[in-house]
Structure 1
Amino acid sequence: MRTTSPHEDKLLALIEPAARDLGYEIVRVRLMGSRRKTFQIMAERPDGRMSSGDCEKLSRGLSPLLEAEDPIDSEYALEVSSPGIDRPLTRFVDFDRWIGWEAKLELDRGIEGRKRFSGELAGTEDNNICINLEGEEDTALIPFEWIASARLVLTDDLIRESLRRRGADEDELEQLEKALDDDQVEFVTDDVLPDADPDLT
């Protein structure tokens, strides 16, 4: 789920050691577009935080490597982003980190005619994702390798929890509660920071 093609596999293998040395974990990479491509890197710190300053640091840290290795055969824009609030779940560990939160899964094959499922995450067991599906009494076990995509479901509680995990202070949390009460919350789920020089070749 962190990649969707052999080319993205190679890009991930190239940048991941350097990102780790800089103190970041790669959540997902995507190479999008045809004429002018966009290379999107979604990342976070080990504690789950990722500020705009972190995005800039990682972008500038990876740019020399990308310029030297030249892994993309046309012009492209480099974008580094945080996973956002309703984040994608791309790694096995993500399903343990977000136990108790609602998620939506899409599989690469059907189970009794279904490919899409939603429910409360219940951790992992062996190589399976545990999830309490809506309308089912027993916890379902879904092989991790069957999952094509997965992400958290956006709720007010998830917004609160995400801000807490990002180290929001009491004033920020109080402002959030007021905004939630007034139904006036506006937010961006992917804090994208373009690289300073998008014309990398």
Structure 2
Amino acid sequence: MGRNKGIEQKVWPLADKVGTELNLEVVEVEFVKEAGKYFLRIYIDKPEGVDLDDCQAFSERIGVLLDEEDPIPQAYYLEVSSPGVERPLKKLSDFERFAGREAQIKTFAAIDGQKQFKGKLLGVRDGQVVIDAGKGELQIPVEQIAKAHLTFDF
């Protein structure tokens, strides 16, 4: 496991605690190094969408917890935001919740000769994500999903 993944795993329960307190869903936690600086990014959401007040309240509360727990040994910048219109899909419940929406899914191994699928999410059936990528329904085993997110055509 990489160092950054270890930090993300330490921060996620703290973020979940704050999310629960504020009735917000933690969508993703990432710790990355960009241009020589470290960034802790936490993406939050709620059914009606998050606003600046949600991000500020979450940032203030998680900041206190991060100072108390001190899971990150180096200096970093904290960023809290919405996941955006191309929200990542991480949990089975995400694939159910966003059924009917367009999504892109990348798999670890080829399924029917391809590793990238774009189409309409149809939900979850028997523990597999179901998508209509233009050739009828395709079931993708959840353990084969490397990355998935909603898509939006501008």
Residue in 2 aligned with 1:39?
40
TM-score by length of 1: 0.69
Distance in 1 of aligned mates of 2:16 and 2:143:
21
**1:143 aligned residue:** 141
**Matched ranges for 1:120-159 at <5 A:** 120-134=120-134, 136-137=135-136, 139-155=137-153
SS at match of 1:54: helix
Deviation at 1:77, TM superposition (A): 0.3
In structure 1, what residue type is equivalent to 2:131? I
Distance 2:26 2:20 in 1: 8
Structure 1 residue 60, shift from structure 2 partner: 0.5
Per the alignment, residue 52 of structure 1 pairs with 52
Structure 1 segments unaligned to the other structure (5+ residues) = 157-201
1:155, distance to aligned residue in structure 2 (A):
2.8
Aligned equivalents of 1:86, 1:73: Cα separation in 2: 31
Checking the alignment, whether the CA contact within 8 Å between 2:26 and 2:45 is kept in structure 1 is yes
What's the CA shift string for 1:135-179, capped at 9, x where partnerless? x13x111112221111112136xxxxxxxxxxxxxxxxxxxxxxx
Query: What is the distance in 2 between the residues matched to 1:14 and 1:144?
Result: 26
For residues 152 and 109 of structure 1, the distance between their equivalents in structure 2, rounded to whole angstroms, comes to 20
Report the structure number with the largest CA radius of gyration: 1
Quote the Cα distance in structure 2 between the aligned partners of 1:9 and 1:56: 23
| Paired amino acid for 1:123 | G
Supply the distance in 2 between the matched residues of 1:73 and 1:149 (Cα, whole angstroms): 28
Identity %: 33
Q: CA deviation at 1:97?
A: 1.5
Give the residue type in structure 2 aligned to 1:8: E
Distance 2:81 2:104 in 1: 21
- 1:10-54 deviation digits (Å, cap 9, x = unpaired): 221232122211211100011010642100000112x24100111
CA RMSD between the two structures: 1.7
Q: CA deviation at 1:113?
A: 3.7
Question: Does the 8 A contact of 1:27 with 1:91 survive in 2?
Answer: no
Structure 2: where are the runs of 5+ without partners? none
TM-score when normalising by structure 2: 0.89
Q: Which has the higher contact order (CA 8 A, sep 6+)?
A: 1
Contact 1:36–1:74 (8 Å) recurs in 2: no
| Aligned equivalent of 1:191 | none
1:39–1:79: 8 Å Cα contact kept in structure 2? yes
- The number of aligned residues is 150
Larger strand share, 1 or 2: 2
Regions of 4+ moved over 4 Å: none
